[in-house]
C-alpha cells in the first residue's frame, strides 16, 4: 500500500460520517406548463438538511420559459394531507426572473423557527406554482415528511 493511500484511509477512519435527512430525502420535482405557457424544462429541487440554520432549501429553475419575465413562486401546503385533496395554505416564496432566452433560477430558505411545531413529525402534501401575468407552471403533489 502506498503512503498516499494509507494516509487517505487513515483520514477516512477518523473523519465524522456525514448523513442526510433520515426522514425526507431531497426531491427533484418537475414543473409542467399550464395551458400554452412556453417551457423547455423546469423543476423544483426540495432539499431538507434540517440543520441549525437551514431547515429546508428550495431551488426553482425554468428553461425556455417566457423571456424577460418575473414570476412569483408559491408553495402550496396541504397539512396532514399527503395526496393534496383538501384546500392548501399558500406561501409566496421567491421571485424568479428569466433572461432573454427564458432561463431563470431562484432560491428560498426556510429556517427551523419558520416551521410550526404542529407540522413537525408528520407527512403533508406539497405543490409549487410559478406564475406571471401571462404564464404559469406547476408541479404535481409530493408527499413531504417533516421531522
Greater confidence (132 vs 52) lies with: 132
Nearest in space to 106 (alpha carbons), one of 77, 135, 133, 75: 75
pLDDT digits (tens, 9 = 90+) for 39-80: 999 999 999 887 788 989 999 999 999 999 999 999 999 999
Is 59:35 a contact under the CB 8 Å cutoff? no
All structural domains of the chain, each given as residue ranges with its CATH number in brackets, are 21-146 (2.60.40)
User: Phi and psi dihedrals of 18, rounded to 5?
Assistant: -90, 145
C-alpha cell at 71: 414570476
Q: What is the CA radius of gyration of the chain?
A: 19
What is the predicted pLDDT for the residue at 91? Answer: 96
CA 77, 21, 105: angle at the middle one, nearest 5? 55
Determine the average pLDDT of the residues in 19-32: 73
Q: Which residue has better confidence, 9 or 67?
A: 67
Q: What is the pTM of this model?
A: 0.82
What pLDDT is attached to residue 24?
Answer: 59
Contacts of 77 (CB under 8 A, 6+ apart): 88, 89, 91, 119, 124, 125, 126
- What's the CA gap between 44 and 23, in Å, rounded? 19
| Gap between the Cα atoms of 82 and 33, Å rounded | 23
Amino acid at each position: 500500500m502506498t503512503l498516499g493511500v494509507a494516509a487517505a484511509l487513515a483520514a477516512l477512519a477518523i473523519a465524522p460520517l456525514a448523513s442526510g435527512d433520515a426522514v425526507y430525502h431531497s426531491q427533484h420535482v418537475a414543473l409542467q406548463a399550464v395551458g400554452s405557457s412556453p417551457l423547455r424544462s423546469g423543476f423544483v429541487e426540495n432539499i431538507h438538511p434540517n440543520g441549525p440554520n437551514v431547515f429546508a432549501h428550495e431551488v426553482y429553475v425554468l428553461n425556455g420559459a417566457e423571456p424577460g419575465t418575473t414570476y412569483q413562486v408559491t408553495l402550496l401546503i396541504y397539512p396532514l394531507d399527503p395526496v393534496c385533496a383538501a384546500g392548501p395554505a399558500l406561501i409566496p416564496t421567491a421571485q424568479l426572473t428569466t433572461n432573454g432566452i427564458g432561463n431563470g433560477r431562484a432560491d428560498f430558505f426556510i429556517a427551523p423557527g419558520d416551521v410550526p411545531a404542529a407540522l413537525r413529525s408528520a407527512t403533508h402534501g406539497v405543490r409549487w406554482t410559478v406564475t406571471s401575468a401571462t404564464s404559469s407552471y406547476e408541479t404535481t403533489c409530493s408527499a413531504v415528511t417533516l421531522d
